[in-house]
Amino acid sequence: MSSWPIPTAAPFAPEEIEILNRVVGPATPVQRAWLAGFLAGLDAAAAAPGTAVLASAAAPQAAALAPQPAAPAQPAEPLTIVYATESGNSERLASDMAKAARKMNLKPTVIDMADLEMSELASAKRLVFIAATWGEGDPPGRAVRAYGELMGEAAPRLEGVQFGVLALGDTAYADFCGVGKKIDARLEQLGGKRIADRVDCDLDFEEPAGKWIDGALKALAPAQDAASSRVIAVDFGAKPAPASELGPFEAEIIELTDLNSSQSNKETYHLELSFEGAAPQYKPGDSLDLYAENDPAYVDDLLKAAGLTSDAALRADLVKNRDVTTLSLKAVETYAELTGHQYVKELLASGKAREWIAGRQLIDLIQQFPIALTGDHLRKVTRPLSPRAYSIASSRREVGEEAHLLISAVRYESFGRARKGVASGYVADQLKKGQKVRVKLRPNRHFALPAPDQDIIMVGPGTGIAPFRAFVQERRATNATGRSWLFFGDRQFTHDFLYQLEWQNALKDGALTRMDVAFSRDTPEKIYVQNRIWERRHDLIEWLDSGAYFYVCGDAKAMAKDVRAMLVKAYADVKGLSVEAAEKAVADLDRAHRYLTDTY
Does the pLDDT value for residue 6 go beyond 90?
A: no
The 10s digit of each residue's pLDDT in 267-316 is 999 999 999 888 999 999 999 999 999 999 999 999 999 999 999 999 99
So what's the architecture of 448-599 in CATH? 3-Layer(aba) Sandwich (3.40)
Mean pLDDT of the chain: 89
Mean local confidence (pLDDT), 553-568: 93
Number of H helices, E strands in the chain: 24, 20
Average pLDDT over residues 161-166: 97
pLDDT in tens, 432-453: 999 999 999 999 999 999 999 9
Give alpha helix (H) positions in 118-205.
Answer: 118-122, 144-151, 178-189
Give the residue with greater pLDDT, 527 vs 229.
Answer: 527
pTM score above 0.75: yes
Q: How far is CA 146 from CA 120, 154, 438, 552, in A?
A: 11, 11, 37, 19
CATH for 296-384 is 1.20.990.10
Residue range 529-534: mean pLDDT, rounded = 98
- Say whether 448-599 and 296-384 share the same fold: no
pLDDT above 90 for 234: no
Mean pLDDT of 202-231: 81
Q: Output the DSSP codes for 322-368.
A: EE-S---HHHHHHHHHHH--HHHHHHHHHT-HHHHHTT--HHHHHHH
- The answer to whether 161 touches 124, Cβ cutoff 8 Å, is yes
Q: Is it the case that residue 64 has pLDDT exceeding 70?
A: no
469 in Cβ contact with 451 (< 8 Å): no
Could you state, in order of their start, the residue ranges of all structural domains in the chain? 14-65, 77-230, 296-384, 448-599
Helix (H) or strand (E) holding 564: helix 559-575
Quote the CA–CA distance of 331 and 478 in Å, as a whole number.
50
* Helices assigned H by DSSP within 388-465: 396-399, 422-425
The reported pLDDT for the residue numbered 54 is: 38
**Buried b / exposed e across 262-301, counting CB within 10 Å, b at 16+?**
eebebbbbbbbbbbeeebbebbbbbbbbbbbbbbeebbeb
What is the chain's alpha carbon radius of gyration, rounded to the nearest angstrom?
28
Q: Is the pLDDT of residue 227 over 60?
A: no
Strand-strand pairing, 268-275 and 287-291: unpaired
Residues 491-502 have a mean pLDDT of 97
Please give the Cα distance from 465 to 489 (Å, whole number). Answer: 9
**pLDDT bucket at 491, cuts 50 / 70 / 90:** very high
User: What is the CATH topology of the domain spanning 77-230?
Assistant: Rossmann fold (3.40.50)
| Residue 530: its H or E element | helix 529-535
Higher pLDDT residue, 506 or 2? 506
What's the angle, vertex CA 15, arms to CA 13 and CA 20, rounded to 5?
A: 95
